Amino acid sequence: MLAPYAVQVTQSRGRRFAEAQHPYRNDFQRDRDRVIHARAFRRLEAKTQVFTRRYSDHFRNRLTHTLEVTQISRTIAGALALNVDLAEVLALVHDIGHPPFGHAGEKALDSAMRQHGLSFDHNLHALRIVEDFEQRYAAFRGLNLTFEVREGIIKHSHDYDANKHPDLVEYLLDQRPPLEAQLIDLTDEIAYNTADLDDGYESHLLSLDEIREGVPIFERFYREVAQIYPEAPQKLQFNETLKRVLNRLVDDLIKTTHKRIQDGGIQTLNDVRQYPSRLAAFSPAVDAERKQNKDFLYENLYFSPSLADEKDDAERVVTDLFDLWMSHPESLPHSYQDKAKEDSLPRVICDYIAGMTDHFIFEQHEKYCGG
Ligand code: MG
């Protein structure tokens, strides 16, 4: 039984190109499977989240991060009686527009575009992937996803200004997205805040003492765990602590969101859409702990000198290739040369680079720029 303010698949605004119903799967389940079968989804496996493969094969990459976000989102959506199928597909697709090399790659690509008066935005790129670049079906371009999934791609983490984005007008920019989409950004943060502590600790870039000192929510649960399992190996105490941090964030997000739904008098999906702010939220106390955790990761991991060389490499590789293809568009693959006849050259180069895996972009850099 879905809550009355959940998205009902039978009420979907549908697909761009009408399709017959599937005998076994509803439209959101089909969208989930279309995302999983997309080439861009499979490439997430070879894109950096925070750590490159140099560190370890068992650290998160964009794909395993995506799977963690998906499982957390399913739990939260289920507990709030929201549409779990919709939350699942939105989580699976949420990072599909990310370029190689994590945030360093995104920044470098955006800077390169800004030289030409343009910009790069991974949500807008994700929409281009599912609408245009993925070609699997004979009847239409792209994945022909339902409106609610496309809307969630655009609106899950960012409010776009309708004046600056007339191209997005169909996505109801003056309204809040459904709760299934609102959850994704917060779930994303729960996933990476905990996972990056884990990988940071395993990589020895973060020590247990540093984490205990810098992340109060971690310290609180660590003390609890050390009392219950005083003899357990340190790594298992660490894991037990992290599990409790994750549960705390999830539990608080569910309860706070539920309370805001009740306090706001929300009865229908339209009430969610018309509400003046997003309803999915942490409580102020837990939000402060979440922020301490995030700030700690920025200061001690994402901007750590140990990762600086790789970030510099990422920036250099993206910038070199972008500039090379700007001055030598004849070196682009023929399909991209054809695209450049209809779209601006910087945009076509940006699309090409954004789709690459870490491995492929290094190979291109070696080939065209001598590594
Ligand atoms: Mg993410």
pLDDT tens readout for residues 160-196? 999 999 999 999 999 999 999 999 999 999 999 999 9
pTM above 0.85, yes or no: yes
For the chain, the domain total comes to: 1
Q: Assess if residue 367 is contained within a domain.
A: no
- The predicted-structure confidence for 80-139, as pLDDT tens digits, reads as follows 999 999 999 999 999 999 999 988 999 999 999 999 999 999 999 999 999 999 999 999
User: To the nearest whole number, what is the mean pLDDT of the chain?
Assistant: 95
Token representation of residue 109: 């690509």
Owning domain of residue 276? 9-307
- Going from the C-alpha of 78 to that of each of 12, 291, 306, 340, the distances in angstroms are 19, 25, 40, 45
pLDDT value at 351 more than 80 = yes
**Predicted pLDDT of residue 245:** 98
* Residue 55 clears pLDDT 90, i.e. is over it: no
Spatial separation of the C-alpha atoms in residues 214 and 338, rounded to whole Å: 52
What percent of the chain has a predicted confidence (pLDDT) above 70? 99
Closest alpha carbon to 90 in 16, 180, 201, 21: 180
Find the 183 Cα to ligand 1 centroid distance in Å: 12
Cα(143)–Cα(225) distance, integer angstroms: 46
Residue 339 lies in a domain: no
Residue 204's φ and ψ, nearest 5 degrees, are: 70, 10
Q: Separation of 248 CA from ligand 1 center, angstroms?
A: 20
Distance 18 CA to ligand 1 centre (A): 31
Looking at residue 208, its pLDDT comes to: 97
CB atoms within 5 A of ion ligand 1 belong to 95, 188
| 89: in domain | yes
Query: Is the model's pLDDT at 54 over the cut of 90?
Result: no
- The average pLDDT across 19-48 equals 96
Q: Which tokens go with 277?
A: 């702010």
User: For position 57, what pLDDT does the model report?
Assistant: 80
Q: Is residue 275 part of a domain?
A: yes
pLDDT at 56: 79
We report the CATH number of the domain holding residue 181 as: 1.10.3210.10
> Taking 80 as the threshold, does the pLDDT of residue 371 lie above it?
no
How much distance in Å is there from the Cα of 330 to the middle of ligand 1?
35
Q: What is the DSSP string of 70-103?
A: HHHHHHHHHHTT--HHHHHHHHHHTTTT--SSHH
Is a pLDDT exceeding 70 seen at residue 53? Answer: no
> And the tokens for 63?
């794909």
Measured in Å, residue 60 CA sits from the centre of ligand 1 at 11
Cα–ligand 1 centroid distance for 341 (angstroms): 33
Alpha helices in 206-233 (DSSP H): 208-214, 216-228
* Cα separation, 154 vs 178, whole angstroms: 12
Residue 300 has which token pair?
């001690």
Q: Which residue has the higher pLDDT, 310 or 80?
A: 80
- Could you tell me the CA-to-CA distances from 70 to 16, 180, 245, 318 in Å, in that order? 25, 12, 18, 29
Assess if residue 1 is contained within a domain.
Answer: no
Express each pLDDT in 223-278 by its tens digit: 999 999 999 999 999 999 999 999 999 999 999 999 999 999 999 999 999 999 99
